[in-house]
């Protein structure tokens, strides 16, 4: 059964990588209305994610490999998905605090591992601060950012983006404010990058 599953994934990857036409509603969805993006003059690819999501953690190696091939006219950013329940707010607060002090790129991968392998409680400020200090993050800077009005504003903005993009699950990739795709639509994590490349191509062609 495992061998059959591997063969199916390989077949799907081969089909997508050959440039086979994508099917709207199957491989991706079109946003209506299109959403404004942050970077003028470039194609923005955004990942809606949640630190507590095991699927987001599993997608990280595939995503990071693709990011190493990012063309010059494409920019990438992460957006923590947020819903009114507030259950995912601690993860968003953590992410934006790390961004505010310039530590996101340095600890992002290790933080995901600490959460999903070591089962660290990232929702507890004391616990996560202790872990970050061990990773070389300045305690005072992180604490100030974590509790700042600036981070709170970004949390509210992320919740608004989650709503306007119609995000119902993570990880979900948004391309140019026009398209959404995910591992669920692609059929596997490994098939996502090829779909991203094709959707980026559509945007370059003005489609």
> Which is it for strands 74-80 and 43-49: parallel, antiparallel or unpaired?
parallel
Provide the pLDDT confidence category of residue 16 given band limits of 50, 70 and 90. Answer: very low
The CA distance from 153 to 158, in Å, is 9
| pLDDT beyond 60 at 136 | yes
Contacting residues for 58 by C-beta, under 8 A, at least 6 apart? 189
Pick from 2-16, 62-76, 116-130: least confident? 2-16
> What pLDDT is recorded for position 82?
97
Q: For 91-114, what is the mean pLDDT?
A: 98
Residue 12 inside a domain? The answer is no
Length of the chain measured in residues: 207
Question: CA–CA distance from 160 to each of 59, 80, 94, 177 (Å)?
Answer: 24, 11, 18, 14
pTM of the predicted model, to two decimals? 0.89
Which backbone phi and psi does 85 adopt, to 5 degrees?
A: -60, -25
Residue 185 inside a domain? The answer is yes
Could you tell me the residue range of the domain that residue 78 belongs to? 25-204
Q: Which of 149, 130, 135, 62 is nearest to 105 (CA)?
A: 135
Q: For 107-116, what is the mean pLDDT?
A: 98
Number of domains in the chain: 1
Q: For 174-200, what is the mean pLDDT?
A: 98
CA angle in degrees (0–180, nearest 5) for 183-189-193 = 95
Residue 11 inside a domain? The answer is no
In eight-state DSSP terms, residue 189 is S
Percent share of the chain, pLDDT over 70: 90
Residue 5 inside a domain? The answer is no
Burial of residue 191 (number of CB atoms within 10 Å: 0-12, 13-18, 19+) = buried
| pLDDT beyond 60 at 87 | yes
Provide the pLDDT confidence category of residue 206 given band limits of 50, 70 and 90. Answer: confident
Residue 150 inside a domain? The answer is yes
Residue 9 inside a domain? The answer is no
| pLDDT beyond 60 at 17 | no
> Which is it for strands 74-80 and 172-175: parallel, antiparallel or unpaired?
unpaired
**Helical (H) or strand (E) element with 45:** strand 43-49
| pLDDT beyond 80 at 160 | yes
Residue 82 inside a domain? The answer is yes
> What pLDDT is recorded for position 43?
98
Provide the pLDDT confidence category of residue 39 given band limits of 50, 70 and 90. Answer: confident
| DSSP code string of 133-188 | HHTT--HHHHHHHHT-HHHHHHHHHHHHHHHHTT--SSSEEEETTTEEEEHHHHSS
The CA distance from 127 to 168, in Å, is 29
We report the CATH number of the domain holding residue 133 as 3.40.30.10
Residue 18 inside a domain? The answer is no
**Helical (H) or strand (E) element with 80:** strand 74-80
């Amino acid at each position: 059964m495992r061998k059959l599953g591997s063969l199916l994934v390989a077949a799907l990857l081969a089909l997508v990588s050959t440039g086979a036409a994508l099917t709207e509603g199957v491989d991706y969805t079109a946003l209506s209305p299109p959403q404004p993006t942050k970077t003028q003059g470039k194609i923005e690819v955004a990942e809606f994610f949640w630190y507590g999501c095991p699927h987001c953690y599993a997608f990280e190696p595939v995503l990071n490999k693709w990011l190493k091939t990012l063309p010059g006219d494409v920019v990438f950013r992460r957006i923590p998905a947020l819903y009114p329940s507030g259950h995912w707010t601690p993860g968003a607060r953590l992410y934006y605090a790390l961004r505010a002090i310039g530590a996101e790129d340095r600890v992002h991968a290790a933080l995901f591992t600490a959460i999903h392998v070591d089962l660290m409680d990232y929702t507890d400020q004391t616990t996560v601060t202790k872990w970050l200090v061990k990773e070389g993050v300045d305690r005072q800077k992180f604490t100030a950012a974590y509790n700042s009005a600036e981070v709170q504003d970004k949390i509210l903005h992320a919740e608004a983006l989650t709503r306007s993009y119609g995000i119902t699950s993570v990880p979900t990739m948004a391309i140019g404010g026009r398209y959404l795709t995910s591992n669920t639509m692609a059929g596997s994590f490994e098939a996502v990058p090829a779909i991203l490349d094709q959707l980026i191509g559509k945007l370059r062609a003005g489609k």
